[in-house]
Structure 1
Amino acid sequence: MSRRAPKRHVPWRLFSLLTLPLLAACSPQDAQTTLNRAISTSGLNVTNNVRYGPDARNVMDIYAPQNVNGAPTVLFIHGGSWEGGDKEGHKFVGESLARAGYVTAVMNYRLAPANRYPSYVQDAAAALKVLRDRAASVGGGPDNLFVMGHSAGGFNAVETVVNERWLREAGVPVSSVRGVIGIAGPYSYDFRGFSSAKAFPQGGTPDEIMPDRHVRRDAPAHLLLVAENDTVVYPQNALNMEAALKRAGVPVTRTVLPRLNHVTIMAAVARPLTFLGQTRQLIIEFIEAHKRR
């Protein structure tokens, strides 16, 4: 009878050195799989597939620290050009922020081209409503909410909160959202010239759809993180979004992270890979500065 070799623990620093070349060159999906293998949710309270709507993708996973009460509560929205991606690939986000003391939901949403704008934004608002309703039961604060997204998910996060329509329609009090975190998001571009046009209505225009055209004056503070070497989402998106927020009098911080690209700016949220850049640190500092006390 053969015996299986015991599972060996790989130190985080060694894991980081071994996988850094992969993360720099691989697809986002492969990078996410690699990151998820490096983390454990032991000691956290994890509730999978919490339903927030009728569609098969209207589900989210909630990661919560133990023994917290009224903790900042974060809704994270994945990227993928509105056509791909899933919550399973972002376990590392839930784990990382839960270890920082925050109740964190990682959501799926309906995908294009079958579901075009605003369906995925409406999904984010609906997920936030359910997360708010459940927050106290898992140690979170229903009026201590943050919305965060990467790439297409950054668009969803910002649009959900700055456009007064979506929270109102979902029944989420605007005052309950303390801040928005956009990571490499396309907030201001003419989608008609890109393959992502299939995520938006035929005949739609940027003026009708882009978040930088929809800023309400009572929107909460924003943190816009930009990767210096991003060749997927141009930095001009964050510049335009920052300008629109400032015109409306909304507090905003735009930070360019050196050496990072569209994939590694998100990978740096994972605790084993914080040496890549300051993504995780800046997110925590922003939440700490704006959380309800």
Structure 2
Amino acid sequence: MVSSGRNEAVKAAVKSASAAGALALVAVVLAQSGAAAEAGATAAVTTAATGTPATETPQPSATPSPSASASASSGASPSPSPSATSPVRIRTFAYGPHVRQRMDVWWHTDGPRRPAVFVIHGGWWSGGDKKYETSVSRSYAQLGYTVVNIDYRLSGDAPWPAQRDDTIDAIATVRRNAAALNTDPNRYVLLGFSAGGHIAAAVGTYGDGIPGLRGVAGISPVVSPLTAYADGALGVGDAEQRKLRKAAIALAGGCLPTRCPKIWASMEPAYHVTSRDAPMFTVHSDDEFVPPYESELLKQALAEVGVPMTVKTVPGRQHSAPVYRERGVARTVQSWIAARLAPATP
């Protein structure tokens, strides 16, 4: 783990820095083409980066039931508060000018406005693609949610905080267009895998709370790049931890913590918690290369400001998607999300 002296030095650098101005969100209007308007119950997910259509996605079942096969591993799954389903339209939209600033949106075309689940893929911040989260996205669409499966600029495209900013821009774009997407702009959660879990946690602790965000869930989230940097030191970490250390350095634009403390501090969700942050839920294997104690550090920081966080561990060394496929994990995450997105009681 990072020494307390280094942590305090980085924290001090953050406190001495001037407050950043408000994030300028990219104004992107979701313009549906005539083809999208005629797509009906099911539309092909178009890949904006290449302009080529992907395989047509099957329509979710008419009614979400506990036995619905949301994914091969999810098991029985709870229904969200708007239990009635409707035809689902799936389209890829741009939320910014870069080729990776794209999102697949799955939305129900009639019935009540649905709460949303934003899915954020992993891949060491330097790789991965939203297409790998298609099964997870389908599972939450089948449960009745709007689902937003996002791509974002990778570390080779732009250093931190581009990844966090892209996610905030995607959220803002969906909220601006909530009526067209039959979505409740004030009820959504983030679900991130590995590096995507880090991005989700960073968004969850950004500023003084993100409007409408009800919860953040992470599967093997790298919630402390500084800890990953220390754990991956030569002679300390295993091969995957050394790879993660290099990935964290690349995320910081190639700059080490001692030379760029402000950048590294900005990557640490635990340094930015406030009492208005959304609750969090994370899952790790107890012996994986992104150890549960990273989440425990964040849990402690959130507890100090009165924000609840649950850290669940499962046996083994599995990481990210394989953890999600462990027996009962997907169901537990879905239940937590359903509770977070339930309508507020009067």
TM category (shorter chain) comes to: 0.7 to 0.9
Q: Structure 1 278/67 Cα, relative in aligned 2: closer, same or farther at 3 Å?
A: farther
Q: Give 2:59's aligned residue.
A: 42
Q: Structure 1 227/65 Cα, relative in aligned 2: closer, same or farther at 3 Å?
A: farther
Q: Structure 1 128/264 Cα, relative in aligned 2: closer, same or farther at 3 Å?
A: closer
Aligned equivalents of 1:284, 1:66: Cα separation in 2: 22
Q: Give 2:309's aligned residue.
A: 252
Q: Structure 1 49/80 Cα, relative in aligned 2: closer, same or farther at 3 Å?
A: same
The offset of 1:208, in angstroms, is: 3.8
Unpaired segments ≥5 residues, structure 2: 1-53, 61-86, 234-244
Q: Does 1:210 align with 2:255?
A: no
Contact 1:62–1:94 (Cα < 8 Å) also in 2: no
Query: TM-score scaled to structure 1, two decimals?
Result: 0.75
Rg: which structure is higher? 2
The offset of 1:64, in angstroms, is: 2.7
The offset of 1:66, in angstroms, is: 5.5
Q: Which of 245, 248, 251 is 1:199 aligned to?
A: 251
The offset of 1:244, in angstroms, is: 1.1
One-letter code aligned to 1:42: Q
Aligned equivalents of 1:237, 1:247: Cα separation in 2: 16
* Alignment coverage as a number of residue pairs: 242
Aligned equivalents of 1:266, 1:96: Cα separation in 2: 16
The offset of 1:226, in angstroms, is: 1.5
Q: Does 1:180 align with 2:216?
A: yes
Residue 179 of structure 2 aligns to a residue whose secondary structure is: helix
The offset of 1:90, in angstroms, is: 1.3
Q: Give 2:199's aligned residue.
A: 156
Residue 238 of structure 1 aligns to a residue whose secondary structure is: helix
Residue 136 of structure 1 aligns to a residue whose secondary structure is: coil
Aligned equivalents of 1:70, 1:95: Cα separation in 2: 18
Residue 156 of structure 1 aligns to a residue whose secondary structure is: helix
One-letter code aligned to 2:280: H
Q: Does 1:289 align with 2:346?
A: no
Higher helix share goes to which structure? Answer: 1
Query: TM-score scaled to structure 2, two decimals?
Result: 0.64
1:22-70 C-alpha deviation (Å, 9 max, x unpaired):
xxxxxxxxxxxxxx99x95324624332111111111000123454422
Query: Which region of structure 1 is more displaced relative to structure 2, 105-114 or 195-204?
Result: 195-204
CA RMSD of aligned residues (A): 2.4
Q: Give 1:93's aligned residue.
A: 136
Residue 82 of structure 1 aligns to a residue whose secondary structure is: coil
Q: Structure 1 209/249 Cα, relative in aligned 2: closer, same or farther at 3 Å?
A: same
